[in-house]
Amino acid sequence: MTTDGRFVLDGSIGVRMIDGSEAAIGDFFDRVVLLVNVASACGFTGQYRGLQVLHSELEGRGFTILGAPCNDFLGQEPGSDEEIRAFCESRFGVTFPLLSKLSILGGDPHPLYGALQGMDAPIGGRVGWNFTKFLIGRGGVVRAKFVTETTPGSRVLRREILSAIEDS
């Protein structure tokens, strides 16, 4: 937490993209990011469609979705990275970036999710299920957390995304 009470992610946290390339979360700090833990065999998998709509609509304004496949919730993301990518592209036309499958729960969560879950609620806190969303403003400021049931078409989510875009 910064001295002004904001939660800021460490930009050096490494992430592996679904294509196997390496990056750091800071590589996305020039954009407003909606980080979403995703799964292909979940009752909420249809949210991919709305996520792609949001990404397509707002990408030109400095916004992106960042999908984080995770198999921690009842094994609902069992595929390999290549299978996940093919599923997302063929079923939902996903063009937004996807991370390599990672772990969120347990004793060794991915450092990105370890940091997010280590922040105080309501901004941070434990991820309860697939399709939990973290809104990260430019510069890595964590602005909000949205539960699974908050759909990509939600007015509340859209309002917060637009506010983050306009604030930067």
Q: In whole angstroms, how far apart are CA 62 and each of 15, 28, 116?
A: 20, 10, 22
Residue 3 contacts residue 34 (beta carbons within 8 Å): no
3-state secondary structure of 138: helix
Q: Say if residue 4 is exposed, middle or buried (CB neighbours under 10 Å; 0-12, 13-18, 19+).
A: exposed
Q: Pick the closest to residue 101 from 32, 1, 17 (CA basis).
A: 17
Classify the C-alpha dihedral 16-40-96-54 as positive or negative: negative
* Placement of tokens 């919730």 in the chain: 73
Contact 10, 1 (CB under 8 A): no
**Annotated catalytic, 42?**
yes
Q: Give dist(CA 143, CA 124) in Å, integer.
A: 9
The active-site residue, picked from 42, 53, 105, 162, is 42
| Residue type present at position 38 | V
Q: Which residues are part of the catalytic machinery? A: 42
